[in-house]
Chain A
Amino acid sequence: MASTSARRSRGWLRTELTGLLFSSPAIIGLAAVMAYPVAASLYYSFCNYSVLKPPTWVGTANYERLLTDELFWTSLWNTLYFAAFSVPLGIIVAFLLALLLNVKVRGMTVYRTIFYIPSIVPMVASSVLWIWLFNPQYGAVNALLRHVPGISDPPGWLSDPAWAKPTIILWSIWGVGNTVVIFLAGLQGVPQALYEAAEVDGASPWQRTLSITVPYMTPYLFFALVMGLIGSFQFFTPAMVMTNGTGGPADSTMFYALNLFHRAFSDFKMGYACAMAWVLFILVVIATLVVVKSSARYVYYESADEGAV
């Protein structure tokens, strides 16, 4: 009797140790590249720190300075502007393309490939391409626009503070291909019987889309919304490459992550950069919570399990 329980407890210990051993890369990783850096970053955010000298505690001075830092507010505004346009527009375009692909037309796989490929083009390459494509004088976009009746003076794009952000938003729309593929997978899961029933009832294609497709797709739309929001708060590479890091013209493309990068690695104001990072983190959490909380009202899950991880 005693030996059985001893064996059982030894077996329990063994399982426990096996599990720990298998998971050790993640445990070490969580400690080394997550827990410690997160804690250190929080500490630095209350310090003056330039890497060369040890950090000195300054209390909430970094956070107070953020409030009066004009560039901080500019970069926050630019990022919110970017998120407010690029995320919804990206979802609408991706949804529209997925709907079109879902109509059983010939050559569907060819179109799908065409829409998908821009999203795997290396970001540096596509950013460099964008600089030239949207060059006001020599670029293809303005060459085409000049043929459109009524447009004699096409925009200056990246060289015009009013157009620089829209130019970068267009870049992000060009890369919606992976969202298209996700949506298309979702669309193929909508029960065909529902459409047939609606058709019998005389519903138009437009009505069917609104009352069957859209509700079924809300989990996918919601996922794209959350991922898009998180991604746009961290938007960096194209802004850096397209403007040579200046965030210009007139700070119009100085996005939050670009500003943070410069404070950390151009000015070596590590404490200040960490304070910015924590504000970013809090903003991401708030934005995500708002979206998640409100989602209960419009996201439809077929069964309770489907929403769970």
Chain B
Amino acid sequence: MADSVDHRGARWQRLLAQVLLIFFSLIFIMPFVWLVTSSVKPDAQIFRSPPEWIPLLPVTHVVAGEECPVYEGPDGSRVALIERLPGEDAVLAASLSGDTSPFTLSQDIFGAYEPVREFGLRWSNYPEGLAFINFGQQLTNTLIICLSTALGAIISCSLVAYGLARVPWRGRNALFYVILGTMMIPPQVTMVPLFVVFAKLGMVNTYWPLILPSFLAPGFYVFLLRQFFLGIPQDLTDAARLEGCGEFGIYWRIALPLSKPALATVALFSFLGAWNDYLGPLIYLSDEAKYTLSLGIASFSSQYGSFPGMLMAVSTVMTVPIIVLFFFTQRTFIQGITLTGIKG
């Protein structure tokens, strides 16, 4: 008796949760739907009020080898607009079927005609947008920075983390707490002097200021890998030591192979961090040929706000690889977040 009441309660609870989850999911998905549908709409459609969700393309009809837009009158009759006649208050049009010879239509009558649109995707926003921001170049630039950053973080952080976790030297705890402490310092504090240093080294407008710091053991990843290395059983390393393996050998042949998931997390998150980074490239890169995707899209947005279709297309192109990457590496993602709480 009590059991059945309880079951009913649990069922209601589950149903309520399901309904709320669907509701919130729709809200969270809505911006993506807008992004993707806008990326295949003609700009003229995006600039319609009230907005439309479904991409529509103007219908055209070929008259004498030329594509002409199709208009529909209030009575449902359709004509192809060949040209607006200059000087006169009329247009030249042709019927779509039957007698297709052109005829003139007075402006009074044509004023009531509406352009005919039907469902269609304007894919050309993609090639046009990508050409517009010089996508190939910017993708290459971004990948150079992302891959170097990931490599730098893996090498430097694993070395330091090993030194902190497995080598019983005296300064290790002190160093660890200093590293943790510096993670509290807002990047704005060091931003100006670092810019001055890189400027004096002649590295402004190069990728070095964006890449070099990742080779100097960023704290978050040191923290993550140290936790991981601490979990490697002592027996394993002792056995290797007895067989004459040096400390570097243990690091290279035991610690690294055992921590592939953690290293993958570090690589993934530092790659994403560089892919997303906007402030760094904004400060250091001034030459448009050196722009990253972040910088390129932001500058496109600020200079050419009247081409939203292309803008949404390039934003989609910047977003999709990250989502695909997520689907292939979900476990690495989830593990990384729950281990450190860093934003991907």
Contact = CB atoms under 8 A, between A and B. Distances in A.
Contacts of B272: 120
B264 interface: no
Contact of B156 (A26, A100, A137, A223): A26
Contacts of B172: 19, 23
B343 A119 contact: yes
B51 A33 contact: no
A277 B341 CA distance: 25
Interface string A243-274: 01100000000000100110011000010011
A264 B191 contact: yes
Interface string A24-67: 11111110111011101100100000010000000000000000
A22 B162 contact: yes
Interface stretch (B56-64, B119-127, B193-201): B193-201
A122 B180 contact: no
B49 A138 contact: yes
Contacts of A125: 35, 297, 315-316, 318-319
A24 to B, nearest CB: 8
A199 B168 CA distance: 50
Contacts of B184: 230, 284-285, 288
B156 A25 contact: yes
A181 B21 contact: no
Contacts of A27: 175
Given A22-B167, A129-B312, A111 B278 contact: no
Interface in B153-192: 155-157, 159-160, 162-164, 167-172, 175, 178-180, 182, 184-192
A174 B167 contact: no
B106 to A, nearest CB: 33
Given A21-B163, A245-B302, A284-B184, A29 B21 contact: no
A124 B190 contact: no
A101 B193 contact: no
Given A129-B315, A309-B180, A103 B13 contact: yes
A48 to B, nearest CB: 13
Contacts of A140: 30-31, 34, 51, 53
B322 interface: yes
Contact of A277 (B51, B188, B275): B188
A15 B344 contact: no
Interface string B272-311: 1001101100110000000001100110011001001001
A63 B341 CA distance: 35
A118 to B, nearest CB: 6
Given A27-B175, A41-B192, A125-B315, A22 B49 contact: no
A307 interface: no
B21 A270 contact: no
Contacts of A137: 49
B5 to A, nearest CB: 11
B337 A178 contact: yes
B334 interface: yes
Contacts of B74: none
A74 interface: no
Contact of B24 (A22, A115, A281): A115
A146 B333 CA distance: 38
B163 A19 contact: yes
A278 B190 CA distance: 10
B263 interface: no
Given A19-B171, A19-B172, A122-B294, A277 B247 contact: no
A115 B28 contact: yes
Contacts of B251: 22
Contacts of A33: 190, 194, 212-213, 216
B1 interface: no
Interface string A123-155: 111111111110001111011101000000000
Contacts of A21: 163
Contacts of A101: 21
A120 B322 contact: yes
B338 A174 contact: no
A214 interface: no
B46 interface: yes
A234 B186 contact: yes
Contacts of B162: 22
A104 interface: yes
A128 B334 contact: no
A162 interface: no
B156, B164, B276, most chain A CB atoms within 10 A: B276
Contact of A227 (B194, B218, B308, B341): B341
A182 B34 contact: no
Nearest to A137: B49
B325 to A, nearest CB: 8
B22 to A, nearest CB: 8
A114 B194 CA distance: 39
A151 B20 CA distance: 23
Interface string A82-100: 0000000000000001001
Interface string B41-84: 00000111111010000000000000000000000000000000
15 contacts: A22-B160, A29-B216, A34-B182, A105-B14, A115-B24, A123-B278, A128-B301, A138-B49, A138-B51, A146-B50, A178-B344, A182-B341, A199-B6, A265-B283, A280-B188
Interface of B: 6, 9, 13-14, 17-18, 20-21, 24-25, 28-32, 34-35, 38, 46-51, 53, 155-157, 159-160, 162-164, 167-172, 175, 178-180, 182, 184-197, 199, 212-213, 215-218, 222, 247, 251, 272, 275-276, 278-279, 282-283, 293-294, 297-298, 301-302, 305, 308, 311-312, 315-316, 318-319, 322-323, 326, 330, 333-334, 337-338, 341-344
Given A133-B34, A277-B192, 4 more contacts: A30-B178, A36-B197, A37-B194, A178-B344
Nearest 9 CB-CB pairs, A to B?
Answer: A19-B169, A22-B163, A29-B216, A37-B190, A40-B193, A25-B156, A37-B193, A26-B217, A103-B17
